Amino acid sequence: MSEEILRAEQVTYTYDPDETEPLFALTGVDLRVERGSFTAILGHNGCGKSTLAKHFNAILLPTGGTVLVDGIDTTDEEQRLQVRRTVGMVLQNPDNQLVSTIVEEDVAFGPENLGIPPKEIRARVDEALKTVGMYDYREHAAHKLSGGQKQRVAIAGILAMRPDCLVLDEPTAMLDPQGRREVMETIRRLNRENGMTVVLITQYMEEAVDADRIVVMEGGRILLDGTPREVFSQVPRLREVALDVPQPTELCFLLRQNGWPLRQDILTEEECVDALAALLEG
Amino acid sequence: MLNDITIGQFFPGNSLIHRLDPRVKILLTIAYIAAVFVPVNWYGLGLAVLFLVTAVALSRLPVKLLWKSIKPILPIILFTALLNMFYVGGGTVLWEWGILKLTSKGLVNAAFLAVRIVCLIAGSSLLTYTTGPTTLTDALERLLGPLKVIRVPVHEIAMMMTIALRFIPTLVEETDKIMSAQKARGADMESGGLLQRIKALVPVLIPLFVSSFRRAYELAMAMECRCYHGGEGRTRMKQLHMGLRDAAAVAVMLLLFTAMILLNCWTAPVL
């Protein structure tokens, strides 16, 4: 089961290759993503996380190094469609990714581009809309939905292409808390129940906590890479790059700094409560 | 203030007219517009009105809706009728003042023209009321399909129309937002003369323009992400089917034409 679907090798990227001293958005990234995993890429603005995401479905091509999607080099123009139907990408602003006025017609857009027969498209659209819980809205006007609903329709539009891997570039950044919950719920379910490989780009640590693996980026390279527990236990290093850690982790960190003997890898509220209770009971 | 704009004024329904193949509907509308100009007397025109009334009844549209589409055109109808009234001579002179001369023939002519224009407007709004905007663009794409041979970018035109329709409400919403933002900063948009009001719109239009370009860029990327690569090899989820009822509709239209032409031969023209 440890088959890899995405592989980045020494990837560098600059937005202005014609400059004599170009500024690099990516400065040598090595990353492998396994099939069926849930990876969160965490970092604040300008760390290169979105640039990296756009490499995974050939929207951007590396200036140096290689990106392999299911073994296909993304620079291979002949295979571009194959790359894009393997890795589906959901963008930040739901308003700017819906193409059609009607929900079901929008979801059909991807499969239509792939030249899939009409009956099969109908089946895929219905299935995708059911997966994200928007089937009842299939005939609604897209612009009348809430932000979270629009983003779920956008996810359905990608799912209808039946990708192996879903890359989401800050899908919750423009949403209200309710919409954010809906979308995160959908993403989690896709990974757990449908076995979809998920790469979630985010600035919010609370969204990253649910992942199997967290990759922290800073200055165009990977700073930390490990399970949420491993990554969040490195409180000082995360603070250096101005990233938050979950509140229980931070509390325990501060207590430990003041001499209290607490574990370093506390992540959830329950763990924190248990640890503190044990400490108080002596 | 901009919330009540309806796109393509589609009135959803499931009537016989709604279910006609959109391609047939477009062609029949064009045919009807031509048909309105065939009759030379009231018998033929009466037939055209009868056809329209039947079609509206079949579509089960509220009559108020049709009135809404005619109302804005009313001044134009009155104006053309007025011009015709005095322009066409002949018949008995009813009233005279200087060079203005109102004749019986002029009066009939004006009324005839007014009825024609109303039929024209009502007939074409029947199409947009009973056909969704995406269905309409879809049908247009297929109807114009043969033009691809002479290199008309039919698919691209249809795609542009689809996207334009999709983004109208989004941009309206955005305009509202920018206007509120500018008002919050003290912009005055409701007073002053015409020129001043137009000037006051500049700080609304510029941000709207800039953001539209950003949206366009993002949409292009999203479309690429969804494997869009032009019209080649594209399939459609919704297939259009022409059925018996479409054939029947075409037959009725042909009947209308035949009846009108025969009436023109047998009865005297009013003009």
B152: confidence class by pLDDT, cuts 50, 70, 90: confident
A179 contact partners, CB below 8 Å, separation of at least 6? A146, A147, A148, A149, A151, A172
**Within this chain, do residues A64 and A87 fall inside the same structural domain, yes or no?**
yes
Chain B: residue whose CA lies nearest to A140: B12
Indicate which CATH number applies to the domain containing A148. Answer: 3.40.50.300
**Within this chain, do residues A196 and A272 fall inside the same structural domain, yes or no?**
no
**Within this chain, do residues A106 and A16 fall inside the same structural domain, yes or no?**
yes
Max mean pLDDT range (A273-282, B24-33, B131-140): B24-33
Q: Is the pLDDT of residue B4 over 50?
A: no
Q: Which residues pair with A226 in a beta bridge?
A: A214
| Reported pTM | 0.82
Stretch 188-217 of chain B: residues touching chain A, C-beta under 8 Å: 215
**Within this chain, do residues A73 and A11 fall inside the same structural domain, yes or no?**
yes
Determine contact: A120 vs chain B, CB below 8 A: no
Q: Which residues pair with A67 in a beta bridge?
A: A8
**Within this chain, do residues A150 and A197 fall inside the same structural domain, yes or no?**
yes
- Lookup: tokens for B172: 């309206």
Determine contact: B241 vs chain A, CB below 8 A: no
- Chain A residues within an 8 Å CB radius of B236: 108, 112, 118
The stretch B235-244 carries a mean pLDDT of: 86
Determine contact: B239 vs chain A, CB below 8 A: yes
Question: How many Å apart are CA A222 and CA A183, to the nearest integer?
Answer: 26
Q: Which of B134, B162, B226 sits opposite A113 (nearest CB)?
A: B226
Chain A: residue whose CA lies nearest to B174: A95
Q: Is the pLDDT of residue B73 over 50?
A: yes
- Residue B266 burial (10 A CB sphere; 0-12, 13-18, 19+): exposed
Chain A: residue whose CA lies nearest to B211: A96
pLDDT value for B55: 93
The stretch B146-164 carries a mean pLDDT of: 89
Do B226 and A101 count as a contact with CB atoms less than 8 A apart?
no
Q: Is the pLDDT of residue B2 over 60?
A: no
pLDDT value for B5: 43
- Chain A residues within an 8 Å CB radius of B219: 96-97, 99
pLDDT value for B9: 67
Residue-range domain boundaries for chain B = 16-143+242-266, 166-225
What range defines the domain where residue A278 resides?
A: 246-282
Q: Is the pLDDT of residue B207 over 90?
A: yes
**Within this chain, do residues A37 and A113 fall inside the same structural domain, yes or no?**
yes
**Within this chain, do residues A189 and A271 fall inside the same structural domain, yes or no?**
no
Write out chain A's pLDDT in tens, 282 residues: 458 899 999 999 998 888 888 888 999 899 999 999 999 999 888 888 999 999 999 999 999 999 999 989 999 989 999 999 999 999 999 999 999 888 999 999 999 999 999 999 999 999 999 999 999 998 888 888 999 999 999 999 999 999 999 999 999 988 899 999 999 999 999 999 999 999 999 988 888 888 999 999 988 889 999 998 888 888 888 888 878 788 888 888 888 888 888 887 788 888 889 888 888 887
In this predicted complex, what is the ipTM?
0.86
Domain count within chain A: 2
**Within this chain, do residues A81 and A20 fall inside the same structural domain, yes or no?**
yes
Q: Is the pLDDT of residue B154 over 60?
A: yes
- The CA distances from residue B150 to A94, A103, B153, B235, in Å, are 37, 34, 9, 22
**Within this chain, do residues A106 and A46 fall inside the same structural domain, yes or no?**
yes
**Within this chain, do residues A79 and A172 fall inside the same structural domain, yes or no?**
yes
**Within this chain, do residues A149 and A269 fall inside the same structural domain, yes or no?**
no
- Chain B residues within an 8 Å CB radius of A125: 237
**Within this chain, do residues A80 and A136 fall inside the same structural domain, yes or no?**
yes
Determine contact: A207 vs chain B, CB below 8 A: no
pLDDT value for A162: 92
